[in-house]
Chains A and B, each alone.
Chain A
Protein backbone atom coordinates (compact mmCIF):
# COMPACT_ATOMS: atom_id res chain seq x y z
CA UNK A 1 0.00 0.00 0.00
CA UNK A 2 1.11 3.51 -0.72
CA UNK A 3 1.13 4.49 2.94
CA UNK A 4 3.35 1.58 3.82
CA UNK A 5 5.76 2.51 1.04
CA UNK A 6 5.85 6.08 2.22
CA UNK A 7 6.41 4.94 5.80
CA UNK A 8 9.13 2.50 4.83
CA UNK A 9 10.91 5.13 2.81
CA UNK A 10 10.48 7.70 5.52
CA UNK A 11 11.71 5.36 8.22
CA UNK A 12 15.13 5.44 6.61
CA UNK A 13 15.24 9.21 6.88
CA UNK A 14 15.72 10.89 10.23
CA UNK A 15 12.81 13.05 11.27
CA UNK A 16 13.10 16.70 10.40
CA UNK A 17 9.95 18.15 11.89
CA UNK A 18 8.46 21.14 10.12
CA UNK A 19 8.00 24.17 12.30
CA UNK A 20 5.44 26.10 10.28
CA UNK A 21 2.28 25.39 8.35
CA UNK A 22 3.98 26.33 5.13
CA UNK A 23 6.87 23.95 5.76
CA UNK A 24 4.45 21.16 6.69
CA UNK A 25 2.71 21.46 3.35
CA UNK A 26 5.74 21.60 1.12
CA UNK A 27 8.25 19.03 0.02
CA UNK A 28 11.11 21.38 0.71
CA UNK A 29 13.09 20.37 3.78
CA UNK A 30 14.27 23.23 5.98
CA UNK A 31 17.86 22.59 4.92
CA UNK A 32 16.96 23.16 1.26
CA UNK A 33 14.80 26.23 1.65
CA UNK A 34 14.24 28.23 -1.53
CA UNK A 35 16.33 31.35 -2.24
CA UNK A 36 14.92 34.65 -1.00
CA UNK A 37 14.02 35.71 -4.54
CA UNK A 38 11.62 32.80 -4.89
CA UNK A 39 10.19 33.38 -1.42
CA UNK A 40 9.56 37.02 -2.37
CA UNK A 41 7.92 35.80 -5.59
CA UNK A 42 5.67 33.54 -3.50
CA UNK A 43 4.65 36.48 -1.29
CA UNK A 44 4.06 38.57 -4.42
CA UNK A 45 1.75 35.87 -5.86
CA UNK A 46 -0.24 35.90 -2.62
CA UNK A 47 -0.45 39.71 -2.63
CA UNK A 48 -1.56 39.88 -6.28
CA UNK A 49 -4.24 37.24 -5.79
CA UNK A 50 -5.29 39.02 -2.59
CA UNK A 51 -5.64 42.30 -4.49
CA UNK A 52 -7.69 40.56 -7.20
CA UNK A 53 -9.90 39.07 -4.46
CA UNK A 54 -10.51 42.50 -2.93
CA UNK A 55 -11.22 43.95 -6.38
CA UNK A 56 -13.72 41.20 -7.24
CA UNK A 57 -15.39 41.39 -3.83
CA UNK A 58 -15.99 45.11 -4.29
CA UNK A 59 -16.92 45.19 -7.97
CA UNK A 60 -18.68 41.94 -8.91
CA UNK A 61 -21.95 42.93 -7.12
CA UNK A 62 -21.90 46.23 -9.11
CA UNK A 63 -21.28 44.45 -12.40
CA UNK A 64 -24.00 41.89 -11.70
CA UNK A 65 -26.60 44.46 -10.61
CA UNK A 66 -29.79 44.11 -12.64
CA UNK A 67 -28.81 40.71 -14.04
CA UNK A 68 -29.95 37.21 -13.10
CA UNK A 69 -26.72 36.79 -11.12
CA UNK A 70 -27.24 39.82 -8.89
CA UNK A 71 -28.36 37.80 -5.86
CA UNK A 72 -25.56 35.26 -6.16
CA UNK A 73 -22.96 37.96 -6.72
CA UNK A 74 -24.10 39.82 -3.61
CA UNK A 75 -23.96 36.63 -1.53
CA UNK A 76 -20.46 35.57 -2.60
CA UNK A 77 -17.99 37.04 -0.13
CA UNK A 78 -14.24 37.42 -0.05
CA UNK A 79 -13.34 33.97 1.39
CA UNK A 80 -14.89 32.36 -1.70
CA UNK A 81 -12.93 34.49 -4.18
CA UNK A 82 -9.74 34.12 -2.17
CA UNK A 83 -9.86 30.33 -1.91
CA UNK A 84 -10.94 29.78 -5.52
CA UNK A 85 -8.20 32.14 -6.79
CA UNK A 86 -5.71 30.37 -4.50
CA UNK A 87 -6.68 26.96 -5.89
CA UNK A 88 -6.39 28.26 -9.47
CA UNK A 89 -3.07 29.88 -8.66
CA UNK A 90 -1.90 26.59 -7.12
CA UNK A 91 -2.79 24.80 -10.32
CA UNK A 92 -0.82 27.30 -12.40
CA UNK A 93 2.33 27.14 -10.25
CA UNK A 94 2.13 23.34 -10.25
CA UNK A 95 1.85 23.19 -14.04
CA UNK A 96 4.71 25.67 -14.46
CA UNK A 97 6.92 23.78 -12.01
CA UNK A 98 7.22 26.78 -9.69
CA UNK A 99 5.37 25.35 -6.70
CA UNK A 100 8.22 24.02 -4.57
CA UNK A 101 10.35 27.10 -5.27
CA UNK A 102 7.79 29.71 -4.26
CA UNK A 103 5.84 27.77 -1.58
CA UNK A 104 7.88 29.28 1.27
CA UNK A 105 6.20 32.60 0.47
CA UNK A 106 2.72 31.28 1.30
CA UNK A 107 2.75 32.36 4.94
CA UNK A 108 -0.73 31.15 5.94
CA UNK A 109 0.19 30.94 9.60
CA UNK A 110 1.54 34.50 9.78
CA UNK A 111 -1.33 35.97 7.77
CA UNK A 112 -4.09 34.28 9.75
CA UNK A 113 -2.54 35.02 13.14
CA UNK A 114 -2.00 38.69 12.27
CA UNK A 115 -5.59 38.80 11.03
CA UNK A 116 -6.81 37.32 14.29
CA UNK A 117 -4.79 39.78 16.39
CA UNK A 118 -6.46 42.59 14.41
CA UNK A 119 -9.83 40.85 14.82
CA UNK A 120 -9.32 41.19 18.58
CA UNK A 121 -9.66 44.98 18.14
CA UNK A 122 -13.23 44.59 16.87
CA UNK A 123 -14.31 42.40 19.77
CA UNK A 124 -15.34 44.12 22.98
CA UNK A 125 -13.46 42.65 25.92
CA UNK A 126 -16.76 41.83 27.61
CA UNK A 127 -17.67 39.52 24.69
CA UNK A 128 -14.41 37.62 25.11
CA UNK A 129 -14.96 37.47 28.88
CA UNK A 130 -18.53 36.20 28.51
CA UNK A 131 -17.73 33.78 25.67
CA UNK A 132 -14.63 32.42 27.39
CA UNK A 133 -16.60 30.30 29.89
CA UNK A 134 -18.69 28.35 27.38
CA UNK A 135 -15.76 28.30 24.92
CA UNK A 136 -13.48 26.70 27.52
CA UNK A 137 -16.20 24.23 28.52
CA UNK A 138 -16.76 23.32 24.87
CA UNK A 139 -13.04 22.93 24.21
CA UNK A 140 -12.48 20.84 27.34
CA UNK A 141 -15.16 18.39 26.19
CA UNK A 142 -14.59 18.45 22.41
CA UNK A 143 -10.79 18.25 22.34
CA UNK A 144 -10.25 15.15 24.54
CA UNK A 145 -13.37 13.35 23.26
CA UNK A 146 -12.54 13.85 19.58
CA UNK A 147 -8.85 13.14 20.24
CA UNK A 148 -9.63 9.80 21.94
CA UNK A 149 -12.22 8.84 19.30
CA UNK A 150 -9.73 9.52 16.48
CA UNK A 151 -6.97 7.68 18.37
CA UNK A 152 -9.28 4.69 18.79
CA UNK A 153 -10.49 4.74 15.17
CA UNK A 154 -6.94 5.01 13.81
CA UNK A 155 -5.91 2.13 16.07
CA UNK A 156 -8.78 0.00 14.75
CA UNK A 157 -7.49 0.58 11.21
CA UNK A 158 -3.95 -0.32 12.28
CA UNK A 159 -2.28 3.06 11.70
CA UNK A 160 1.18 3.79 13.08
CA UNK A 161 1.22 5.31 16.60
CA UNK A 162 2.84 8.54 15.40
CA UNK A 163 0.33 8.99 12.59
CA UNK A 164 -2.45 8.31 15.11
CA UNK A 165 -1.10 11.13 17.28
CA UNK A 166 -0.89 13.52 14.33
CA UNK A 167 -4.37 12.77 13.00
CA UNK A 168 -5.93 12.91 16.48
CA UNK A 169 -4.30 16.26 17.27
CA UNK A 170 -5.19 17.72 13.88
CA UNK A 171 -8.87 16.77 14.06
CA UNK A 172 -9.41 17.61 17.71
CA UNK A 173 -7.45 20.84 18.18
CA UNK A 174 -6.46 23.15 15.38
CA UNK A 175 -5.48 21.39 12.21
CA UNK A 176 -2.05 21.96 10.75
CA UNK A 177 -0.67 23.87 13.77
CA UNK A 178 -1.67 21.02 16.09
CA UNK A 179 -0.24 18.43 13.71
CA UNK A 180 3.05 20.34 13.69
CA UNK A 181 3.05 20.47 17.47
CA UNK A 182 2.20 16.78 17.74
CA UNK A 183 4.89 15.94 15.16
CA UNK A 184 7.46 17.64 17.38
CA UNK A 185 6.14 15.94 20.50
CA UNK A 186 6.13 12.41 19.05
CA UNK A 187 9.01 12.92 16.59
CA UNK A 188 6.87 11.99 13.62
CA UNK A 189 8.28 11.66 10.14
CA UNK A 190 8.11 14.61 7.82
CA UNK A 191 6.01 12.62 5.33
CA UNK A 192 3.43 11.79 7.99
CA UNK A 193 3.13 15.47 8.84
CA UNK A 194 2.85 16.43 5.17
CA UNK A 195 -0.09 14.21 4.41
CA UNK A 196 -1.80 14.98 7.72
CA UNK A 197 -1.52 18.67 6.77
CA UNK A 198 -2.94 17.92 3.32
CA UNK A 199 -5.83 16.01 4.89
CA UNK A 200 -6.59 18.99 7.10
CA UNK A 201 -6.85 21.26 4.07
CA UNK A 202 -8.84 18.67 2.09
CA UNK A 203 -11.51 18.54 4.78
CA UNK A 204 -11.33 22.22 5.71
CA UNK A 205 -12.04 23.52 2.20
CA UNK A 206 -15.55 22.03 1.83
CA UNK A 207 -16.28 22.76 5.53
CA UNK A 208 -15.81 26.48 4.86
CA UNK A 209 -18.90 26.38 2.65
CA UNK A 210 -20.75 23.41 4.14
CA UNK A 211 -21.00 24.63 7.73
CA UNK A 212 -22.41 28.11 7.00
CA UNK A 213 -24.93 26.45 4.70
CA UNK A 214 -25.86 23.84 7.32
CA UNK A 215 -26.08 26.54 10.00
CA UNK A 216 -28.60 28.28 7.79
CA UNK A 217 -30.53 25.07 7.04
CA UNK A 218 -30.61 24.17 10.75
CA UNK A 219 -31.63 27.75 11.56
CA UNK A 220 -28.91 28.11 14.16
CA UNK A 221 -28.56 31.42 15.96
CA UNK A 222 -25.46 33.39 14.97
CA UNK A 223 -23.54 32.72 18.23
CA UNK A 224 -24.32 28.98 18.05
CA UNK A 225 -23.25 28.89 14.39
CA UNK A 226 -20.02 30.69 15.31
CA UNK A 227 -19.32 28.34 18.22
CA UNK A 228 -20.06 25.31 16.04
CA UNK A 229 -17.72 26.54 13.31
CA UNK A 230 -15.01 27.40 15.84
CA UNK A 231 -15.33 24.05 17.59
CA UNK A 232 -15.51 21.94 14.48
CA UNK A 233 -13.40 23.18 11.56
CA UNK A 234 -9.81 22.18 12.12
CA UNK A 235 -7.63 24.86 10.71
CA UNK A 236 -7.88 28.38 12.11
CA UNK A 237 -7.86 30.10 8.71
CA UNK A 238 -10.82 28.00 7.57
CA UNK A 239 -12.67 28.82 10.80
CA UNK A 240 -12.24 32.51 10.02
CA UNK A 241 -13.40 31.98 6.43
CA UNK A 242 -16.55 30.08 7.45
CA UNK A 243 -17.27 32.52 10.29
CA UNK A 244 -16.93 35.46 7.90
CA UNK A 245 -19.44 33.83 5.54
CA UNK A 246 -22.02 33.63 8.34
CA UNK A 247 -21.35 37.18 9.53
CA UNK A 248 -19.32 39.43 11.80
CA UNK A 249 -20.82 38.18 15.06
CA UNK A 250 -20.31 34.54 14.08
CA UNK A 251 -16.72 35.33 13.10
CA UNK A 252 -16.07 36.84 16.53
CA UNK A 253 -17.50 33.88 18.47
CA UNK A 254 -15.79 31.39 16.16
CA UNK A 255 -12.47 33.16 16.75
CA UNK A 256 -12.88 33.08 20.53
CA UNK A 257 -13.81 29.38 20.50
CA UNK A 258 -10.97 28.48 18.13
CA UNK A 259 -8.44 30.50 20.12
CA UNK A 260 -9.50 28.61 23.25
CA UNK A 261 -8.86 25.31 21.48
CA UNK A 262 -5.51 26.64 20.28
CA UNK A 263 -4.51 27.25 23.89
CA UNK A 264 -5.18 23.61 24.71
CA UNK A 265 -2.56 22.66 22.13
CA UNK A 266 0.15 23.21 24.74
CA UNK A 267 -1.45 20.77 27.17
CA UNK A 268 -1.88 18.11 24.47
CA UNK A 269 1.76 18.56 23.42
CA UNK A 270 2.91 17.95 26.99
CA UNK A 271 0.67 14.88 27.30
CA UNK A 272 1.86 13.45 23.95
CA UNK A 273 5.51 14.10 24.76
CA UNK A 274 5.09 12.29 28.07
CA UNK A 275 3.15 9.39 26.53
CA UNK A 276 5.63 8.80 23.71
CA UNK A 277 8.65 9.24 25.96
CA UNK A 278 7.48 6.88 28.68
CA UNK A 279 5.08 4.46 26.98
CA UNK A 280 5.92 4.18 23.27
CA UNK A 281 9.62 4.92 22.91
CA UNK A 282 10.55 4.29 26.54
CA UNK A 283 13.59 6.54 26.28
CA UNK A 284 15.59 6.18 29.51
CA UNK A 285 16.60 9.36 31.29
CA UNK A 286 14.41 11.65 29.20
CA UNK A 287 13.59 14.99 30.74
CA UNK A 288 10.04 15.22 32.00
CA UNK A 289 8.03 17.68 29.86
CA UNK A 290 6.96 20.58 31.99
CA UNK A 291 6.06 24.25 32.03
CA UNK A 292 8.76 25.05 29.46
CA UNK A 293 7.09 22.76 26.92
CA UNK A 294 3.72 24.26 27.78
CA UNK A 295 5.00 27.78 27.07
CA UNK A 296 6.84 26.70 23.90
CA UNK A 297 3.59 25.26 22.51
CA UNK A 298 1.39 28.12 23.71
CA UNK A 299 -0.01 30.01 20.68
CA UNK A 300 1.36 33.48 21.36
CA UNK A 301 -1.02 35.18 18.93
CA UNK A 302 -3.79 34.59 21.50
CA UNK A 303 -2.00 37.11 23.75
CA UNK A 304 -2.02 39.64 20.89
CA UNK A 305 -5.70 38.89 20.21
CA UNK A 306 -6.65 39.63 23.85
CA UNK A 307 -4.36 42.66 24.09
CA UNK A 308 -5.87 44.15 20.90
CA UNK A 309 -9.33 43.69 22.41
CA UNK A 310 -8.22 45.39 25.66
CA UNK A 311 -6.68 48.35 23.79
CA UNK A 312 -9.67 48.82 21.45
CA UNK A 313 -12.18 48.49 24.31
CA UNK A 314 -10.37 51.17 26.34
CA UNK A 315 -10.05 53.35 23.23
CA UNK A 316 -13.76 53.12 22.40
CA UNK A 317 -14.72 53.79 26.02
CA UNK A 318 -12.70 57.01 25.86
CA UNK A 319 -13.68 58.37 22.43
CA UNK A 320 -17.18 56.90 22.21
CA UNK A 321 -18.97 56.41 18.89
CA UNK A 322 -16.42 58.61 17.11
CA UNK A 323 -13.97 55.69 17.37
CA UNK A 324 -16.10 53.35 15.27
CA UNK A 325 -14.67 54.66 11.98
CA UNK A 326 -11.14 54.20 13.30
CA UNK A 327 -11.86 50.59 14.25
CA UNK A 328 -13.31 50.26 10.74
CA UNK A 329 -9.81 50.92 9.37
CA UNK A 330 -8.47 48.14 11.61
CA UNK A 331 -11.22 45.88 10.24
CA UNK A 332 -10.13 46.68 6.67
CA UNK A 333 -6.58 45.69 7.56
CA UNK A 334 -7.88 42.51 9.20
CA UNK A 335 -9.86 41.64 6.06
CA UNK A 336 -6.68 42.03 4.01
CA UNK A 337 -4.73 39.63 6.21
CA UNK A 338 -7.59 37.10 6.20
CA UNK A 339 -7.77 37.33 2.40
CA UNK A 340 -4.02 36.67 2.18
CA UNK A 341 -4.44 33.66 4.51
CA UNK A 342 -7.33 32.23 2.47
CA UNK A 343 -5.43 32.71 -0.78
CA UNK A 344 -2.49 30.87 0.82
CA UNK A 345 -4.73 27.97 1.87
CA UNK A 346 -5.82 27.53 -1.73
CA UNK A 347 -2.25 27.83 -3.00
CA UNK A 348 -0.96 25.25 -0.50
CA UNK A 349 -3.49 22.55 -1.31
CA UNK A 350 -2.00 19.56 -3.12
CA UNK A 351 -3.67 16.32 -3.98
CA UNK A 352 -0.54 14.24 -4.56
CA UNK A 353 0.16 13.89 -0.83
CA UNK A 354 -3.21 12.26 -0.29
CA UNK A 355 -2.58 9.67 -3.00
CA UNK A 356 0.60 8.73 -1.14
CA UNK A 357 -1.27 8.45 2.15
CA UNK A 358 -3.75 5.81 0.95
CA UNK A 359 -7.33 5.43 2.10
CA UNK A 360 -6.91 4.60 5.79
CA UNK A 361 -5.82 8.03 7.08
CA UNK A 362 -8.56 9.59 4.92
CA UNK A 363 -11.15 7.21 6.41
CA UNK A 364 -9.94 8.02 9.93
CA UNK A 365 -9.99 11.75 9.28
CA UNK A 366 -13.43 11.58 7.66
CA UNK A 367 -14.92 9.50 10.48
CA UNK A 368 -13.43 11.79 13.11
CA UNK A 369 -14.62 14.90 11.26
CA UNK A 370 -18.22 13.62 11.25
CA UNK A 371 -17.97 12.75 14.96
CA UNK A 372 -16.54 16.22 15.67
CA UNK A 373 -19.32 17.81 13.61
CA UNK A 374 -22.06 16.17 15.68
CA UNK A 375 -20.41 16.67 19.07
CA UNK A 376 -19.54 20.33 18.44
CA UNK A 377 -23.08 21.02 17.21
CA UNK A 378 -24.56 19.49 20.36
CA UNK A 379 -22.25 21.41 22.69
CA UNK A 380 -22.51 24.72 20.80
CA UNK A 381 -26.32 24.45 20.91
CA UNK A 382 -26.25 23.82 24.66
CA UNK A 383 -23.48 26.21 25.73
CA UNK A 384 -24.19 29.19 23.44
CA UNK A 385 -27.98 29.10 23.56
CA UNK A 386 -29.19 32.62 24.33
CA UNK A 387 -25.68 34.12 24.03
CA UNK A 388 -25.64 37.72 22.87
CA UNK A 389 -22.49 39.37 21.57
Chain B
Protein backbone atom coordinates (compact mmCIF):
# COMPACT_ATOMS: atom_id res chain seq x y z
CA UNK B 1 0.00 0.00 0.00
CA UNK B 2 1.34 3.38 -0.85
CA UNK B 3 1.44 6.25 1.56
CA UNK B 4 1.08 9.00 -0.98
CA UNK B 5 -1.31 11.81 -0.43
CA UNK B 6 -4.83 10.62 -1.06
CA UNK B 7 -5.87 14.01 -2.38
CA UNK B 8 -6.81 12.56 -5.71
CA UNK B 9 -9.58 10.32 -4.37
CA UNK B 10 -12.37 12.75 -4.99
CA UNK B 11 -12.85 16.47 -5.12
CA UNK B 12 -13.56 17.99 -1.75
CA UNK B 13 -16.99 19.07 -2.87
CA UNK B 14 -17.97 15.49 -3.71
CA UNK B 15 -17.54 14.21 -0.19
CA UNK B 16 -19.65 15.08 2.82
CA UNK B 17 -18.41 17.94 4.95
CA UNK B 18 -17.16 16.47 8.22
CA UNK B 19 -18.52 19.51 10.03
CA UNK B 20 -22.04 18.87 8.78
CA UNK B 21 -24.45 17.78 11.48
CA UNK B 22 -24.80 14.00 11.67
CA UNK B 23 -28.47 13.41 12.40
CA UNK B 24 -28.10 9.76 13.40
CA UNK B 25 -25.03 10.20 15.61
CA UNK B 26 -26.64 13.27 17.14
CA UNK B 27 -29.80 11.35 17.90
CA UNK B 28 -28.07 8.33 19.39
CA UNK B 29 -25.89 10.42 21.70
CA UNK B 30 -28.69 12.68 22.88
CA UNK B 31 -31.20 9.82 22.96
CA UNK B 32 -28.97 8.07 25.51
CA UNK B 33 -28.96 11.21 27.66
CA UNK B 34 -32.74 11.67 27.41
CA UNK B 35 -33.60 8.00 28.02
CA UNK B 36 -31.07 7.65 30.84
CA UNK B 37 -32.22 10.76 32.68
CA UNK B 38 -35.90 9.97 32.07
CA UNK B 39 -35.46 6.50 33.59
CA UNK B 40 -33.61 8.02 36.55
CA UNK B 41 -36.46 10.51 37.06
CA UNK B 42 -39.09 7.75 36.85
CA UNK B 43 -37.26 5.73 39.51
CA UNK B 44 -36.79 8.72 41.82
CA UNK B 45 -40.48 9.70 41.67
CA UNK B 46 -41.49 6.09 42.32
CA UNK B 47 -42.99 5.35 38.90
CA UNK B 48 -40.60 2.40 38.58
CA UNK B 49 -40.70 0.79 42.04
CA UNK B 50 -38.39 -1.82 43.50
CA UNK B 51 -38.95 -5.36 42.27
CA UNK B 52 -40.22 -4.33 38.83
CA UNK B 53 -36.87 -4.71 37.09
CA UNK B 54 -36.01 -8.42 36.80
Contact = CB atoms under 8 A, between A and B. Distances in A.
Interface string A328-364: 1110110010000000000000000000000010000
A14 interface: yes
B3 A155 contact: yes
Contact of A300 (B19, B21, B29): B29
B29 A19 contact: no
Contact of A325 (B5, B48, B50): B50
Interface residues of B, number: 39
A307 B32 CA distance: 13
A60 to B, nearest CB: 15
A308 B19 contact: no
Interface string A253-291: 000000000000000010001000000111100110100
B3 A14 contact: no
Nearest to B36: A117
A301 B30 CA distance: 7
B5 A280 contact: yes
Contact of B7 (A281, A315, A360): A281
Nearest to A109: B28
B50 A329 contact: yes
A107 B23 CA distance: 15
Nearest to B5: A280
Interface stretch (A3-11, A128-136, A366-374): A3-11
B53 A336 contact: yes
Contact of B32 (A4, A16, A114): A114
A20 B43 contact: no
Contacts of B7: 280-282
A201 to B, nearest CB: 18
A185 interface: yes
Interface in B1-54: 1-3, 5-7, 9-10, 12, 14-16, 18-19, 21-25, 28-37, 39-40, 43-44, 48-50, 52-54
B12 A283 contact: yes
B40 A330 contact: yes
A283 to B, nearest CB: 5
Majority secondary structure of chain A interface residues (helix, strand, loop or mixed) = helix
Contacts of A184: 16, 18, 22
Contact of A301 (B32, B39, B50): B32
Contact of A159 (B1, B28, B30, B31): B1
A11 B37 CA distance: 43
Contacts of A116: 32, 36
A280 B22 CA distance: 24
Interface residues of A, number: 69
A311 interface: yes
B1 A3 contact: yes
Given A121-B40, A328-B50, A280 B3 contact: no
Contacts of B37: 117, 304, 307-308, 311
B32 A304 contact: yes
30 contacts: A11-B6, A14-B10, A15-B9, A15-B10, A15-B15, A17-B16, A20-B28, A54-B54, A109-B32, A114-B36, A117-B36, A117-B40, A118-B36, A160-B1, A161-B5, A161-B6, A162-B6, A184-B22, A185-B18, A187-B15, A187-B18, A273-B19, A281-B7, A281-B12, A287-B19, A301-B33, A307-B33, A326-B50, A329-B49, A333-B43
Interface of A: 1, 3-4, 7, 11, 14-17, 19-20, 23, 30, 51, 54, 107, 109-110, 113-118, 120-121, 155, 158-162, 180, 184-187, 189, 269, 273, 280-283, 286-287, 289, 292-293, 296, 299-301, 303-304, 307-308, 311-312, 315, 325-326, 328-330, 332-333, 336, 360
Given A159-B1, A300-B30, 12 more contacts: A4-B1, A15-B9, A17-B18, A19-B24, A158-B3, A160-B6, A273-B18, A281-B12, A304-B33, A307-B33, A326-B50, A329-B49
Q: Please give me the 3 A-B residue pairs with the lowest Cβ-Cβ distance, nearest first.
A: A117-B36, A113-B32, A304-B33
